[in-house]
């Protein structure tokens, strides 16, 4: 998850059928994900194929009833804004939608992402159903479809490692992570009717050269201001985002698949609360006036060795 930004990604969100047999099959497949990545990716090393496996709260209890429970694993908590949008008139909603499993597949080549997703679905067979499948692509110089560079302020190096991996505080799960995903659909027509200056005030950065606006210019309800959180000791609360643009010109569907990793998912949840409810309440994130969340799921990401051990 800390590899350089992917050129291609597939986000597969699956539900798993009821019953012990389905759980046995899934446990076995999850233990083989690393081997499948090697089978698909080894022949094309330059593709840098990787796959992150996320497990939802309900499925965790079915798969690993004997194992400990990750401290912060719970279903995605839906959020409902409390004031009407100044553009649509409706309060913003972050729905919670079904999702037992997430495969976040990344590569420099779409073919390897596709092949791994195919192999995973073959192995899972009838026991899993895809409830969402998003094929994301790199859009120019890491831009989202709103035209802004996305990912600039992601932490790197040692800070990224601390941000993403559970430490010794939950020692049984050290080296694991949490991921929250949401599919956002943009109203590109409405966005396109804004001037670049208006768009910049909504995002909090300049559009062409991606510079953060000065504090006295950047509105408190800009996306960047809402998501810049500093705790009482002055430490910035960070997550690592692996967002990808996706779309279908024919269907007129354009969006951002939000994917946020954190050692402590309460940070991502706080960001979501600030975006949808606002801090203070009502000061919601202006990006939501042009982009609506249509899915929302939370997952725990165990280490590959945990998945392999549990499958044996």
Where does this chain bind ligand HEM (CB under 6 A)? Answer: 144, 146, 148-153, 182, 184, 203, 205, 223-224, 227-228, 239, 241, 256, 258, 260, 268, 271-272, 287, 291
With respect to ligand HEM, which residue has the nearer C-beta, 92 or 135? 92
> Hey, is 149 helix, strand or coil?
strand
State the Cα–Cα distance between residues 175 and 165, nearest whole angstrom: 5
**Range list of H helices, 64-143:** 110-124
Q: Write down the least CB distance from residue 230 to ligand HEM, Å.
A: 10
Tell me how far CA of residue 265 lies from CA of 269, 290, 301, in angstroms: 6, 25, 11
With respect to ligand HEM, which residue has the nearer C-beta, 17 or 207? 207
Q: Write down the least CB distance from residue 51 to ligand HEM, Å.
A: 22
With respect to ligand HEM, which residue has the nearer C-beta, 177 or 182? 182
With respect to ligand HEM, which residue has the nearer C-beta, 152 or 198? 152
With respect to ligand HEM, which residue has the nearer C-beta, 25 or 200? 200
Tell me how far CA of residue 72 lies from CA of 89, 128, 182, 248, in angstroms: 34, 25, 18, 35
Q: Write down the least CB distance from residue 258 to ligand HEM, Å.
A: 4
The CA angle 21-25-31, to the nearest 5 degrees, is 145
Largest CA distance in the chain: 59
H and E: helices and strands count for the chain: 10, 12
> Hey, is 234 helix, strand or coil?
coil
Q: Write down the least CB distance from residue 148 to ligand HEM, Å.
A: 4
Q: Are 257 and 134 in contact (CB under 8 A)?
A: yes
State the Cα–Cα distance between residues 260 and 258, nearest whole angstrom: 6
Which residue among 100, 132, 144, 150 is the active-site one? 150
Q: Are 150 and 144 in contact (CB under 8 A)?
A: yes
Is 150 marked active-site?
yes
Q: Write down the least CB distance from residue 185 to ligand HEM, Å.
A: 9
- Scan for tokens 């995973």, then name that residue: 120
The residues annotated with a catalytic role in the active site are 150
């Amino acid at each position: 998850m800390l590899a350089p930004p992917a050129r291609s990604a597939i986000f597969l969100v699956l539900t798993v059928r009821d019953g012990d047999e389905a759980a046995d099959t899934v446990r076995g497949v999850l233990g083989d994900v690393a081997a499948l990545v090697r089978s698909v990716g080894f022949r094309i090393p330059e593709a840098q194929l990787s796959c992150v496996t996320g497990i939802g709260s309900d499925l965790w209890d079915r798969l690993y009833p004997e194992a400990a429970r990750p401290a912060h694993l719970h279903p995605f908590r839906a959020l409902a804004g409390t004031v009407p949008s100044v553009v649509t008139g409706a309060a913003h909603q972050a729905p919670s939608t079904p999702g037992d499993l997430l495969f976040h597949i990344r590569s420099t080549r779409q073919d390897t992402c596709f092949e791994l997703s195919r192999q995973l679905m073959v192995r899972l067979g009838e026991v899993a159903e895809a409830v969402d499948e998003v094929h994301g692509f790199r859009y120019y110089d890491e831009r989202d479809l709103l035209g802004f560079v996305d990912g600039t302020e992601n932490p790197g190096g040692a800070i990224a490692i601390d941000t993403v991996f559970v430490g010794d505080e939950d020692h049984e799960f050290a080296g694991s992570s949490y991921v929250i995903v949401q599919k956002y659909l943009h109203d590109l027509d409405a966005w396109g009717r804004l001037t670049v200056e208006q768009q910049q005030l909504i995002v909090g950065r300049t559009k062409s050269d991606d510079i953060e606006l000065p504090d006295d210019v950047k509105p408190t309800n800009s996306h960047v201001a809402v998501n810049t959180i500093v705790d009482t000791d002055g430490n910035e609360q960070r997550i690592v985002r692996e967002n990808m643009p996706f779309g279908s010109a024919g269907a007129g569907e354009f969006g951002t698949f939000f994917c946020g990793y954190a050692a402590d998912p309460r940070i991502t949840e706080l960001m979501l609360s600030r975006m949808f409810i606002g801090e203070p309440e009502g000061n919601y994130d202006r990006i939501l006036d042009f982009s609506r969340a249509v899915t929302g799921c939370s997952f725990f990401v165990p280490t590959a060795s945990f998945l392999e051990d549990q499958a044996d």
